[in-house]
């Protein structure tokens, strides 16, 4: 048992280092940003059932009216809720467009480099672990601010993107849409040792096999959340092949094929739209050409700009958060 525990410890450290270039493994991820709005990102210590032992942070813009949306924002490895919420642009958009944020944060005891455990079966199964903790946070937030429960969205980077996949699969009735940034399909891995191959080179399954993994995660028989997938084609940490597998997974879940019905560009980057039988976009995909592993941002105050550069938050002249917000009609 000691050998197993030591091996698992080393694998977790390696996985975290591969995902986001980890610093010292046991150093708590400090907040390095302090704009005026940061003070309003508040920890909620008692938000309800917490089987995944996560921390909850919440951002509520001043004067937020009732009936506004909620966005769940999931950081990557070695990051924390406050910095990622600010760096990615979500806090400034919440102020501008008047919606609240739920910002889960990983604990050291769960993962040595603060990665959400997207690769652990117990943390990605409905009713247990980290996914259940996040749903408790959503319930708390809806009640606390009188939010619109039909307009809850989830997004995340890297390990947070993997956990976004898990939340959309295990609790599809709770989310209107999701944004997966440099993420991984649901159930690509169900144990730590499988995670590395999922990240790079990736796992190649048929669309129906990917779709079955989502359908088996709950008894859901209603409408599925829409999904937006963002990935850099120079990402050698989480291979861009995962973008294609995510497209196949979620188009299959929505009952359509993985051939785009329309294409255009976002800030010069190719975007694909996948539509259902009624012509509604159910999956979209943006390939950020030349970008490595990270969150796309476009610092500035102009139309469509948001975010600021940081480790694995990359200035590529397009802000993913802004475009996700437009897709979800948050403005």
Distance between CA atoms of residues 163 and 179, nearest Å: 11
Reference 30, options 111, 89, 114; nearest CA is 114
Distance of CA 300 to the CA centre of its chain: 23
Distance between CA atoms of residues 270 and 288, nearest Å: 7
| CB 145, CB 109: distance < 8 Å | no
What burial class does residue 241 get, using C-beta atoms within 10 Å of its C-beta: 0-12 exposed, 13-18 middle, 19+ buried? middle
Distance between CA atoms of residues 176 and 280, nearest Å: 14
Distance between CA atoms of residues 253 and 69, nearest Å: 24
Residues marked as catalytic: 158
Distance between CA atoms of residues 285 and 292, nearest Å: 16
| CB 284, CB 275: distance < 8 Å | no
Angle, CA of 191, 194 and 198, to the nearest 5°:
125
CB atoms within 10 A of CB 46: 7
| CB 290, CB 233: distance < 8 Å | yes
Distance of CA 137 to the CA centre of its chain: 15
């Amino acid at each position: 048992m000691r050998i197993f525990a030591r091996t698992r410890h080393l694998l977790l450290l390696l996985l975290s280092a591969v995902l986001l270039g980890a610093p010292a493994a046991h150093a708590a991820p400090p907040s390095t940003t302090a704009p005026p709005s940061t003070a309003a990102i508040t920890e909620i210590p008692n938000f309800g059932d917490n089987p995944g032992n996560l921390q909850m942070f919440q951002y509520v813009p001043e004067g937020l009216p009732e009936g506004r949306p909620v966005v769940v924002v999931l950081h990557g490895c070695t990051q924390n809720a406050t910095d990622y919420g600010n760096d990615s642009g979500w806090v400034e958009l919440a102020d501008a467009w008047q919606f609240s944020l739920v910002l889960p944060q990983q604990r050291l005891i769960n993962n040595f480099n603060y990665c959400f455990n997207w690769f652990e079966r117990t943390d990605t199964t409905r009713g247990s672990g980290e996914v259940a903790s996040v749903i408790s946070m959503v319930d708390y937030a809806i009640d606390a601010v009188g939010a619109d429960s039909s307009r809850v969205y989830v997004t995340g980077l890297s390990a947070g993107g993997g956990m976004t996949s898990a939340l959309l699969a295990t609790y599809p009735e709770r989310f209107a849409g999701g944004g997966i940034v440099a993420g991984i399909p649901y159930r690509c891995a169900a144990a730590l040792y499988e995670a590395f191959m999922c990240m790079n080179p990736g796992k190649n399954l048929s669309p129906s096999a990917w779709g079955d993994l989502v359908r088996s995660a709950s008894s859901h028989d209603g409408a599925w959340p829409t999904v937006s997938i963002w990935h850099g084609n120079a990402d050698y940490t989480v291979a861009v092949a995962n973008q294609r597998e995510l497209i196949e997974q979620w188009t299959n879940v929505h009952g359509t094929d993985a051939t785009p019905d329309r294409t255009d560009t976002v800030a010069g980057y190719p975007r694909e739209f996948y539509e259902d039988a009624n012509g509604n976009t159910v999956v979209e995909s943006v390939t950020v050409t030349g970008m490595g592993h990270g969150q796309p941002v476009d610092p500035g105050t102009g139309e469509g700009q948001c975010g600021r550069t940081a480790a694995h938050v990359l200035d590529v002249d397009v802000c993913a958060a802004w475009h996700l917000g437009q897709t979800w009609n948050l403005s």
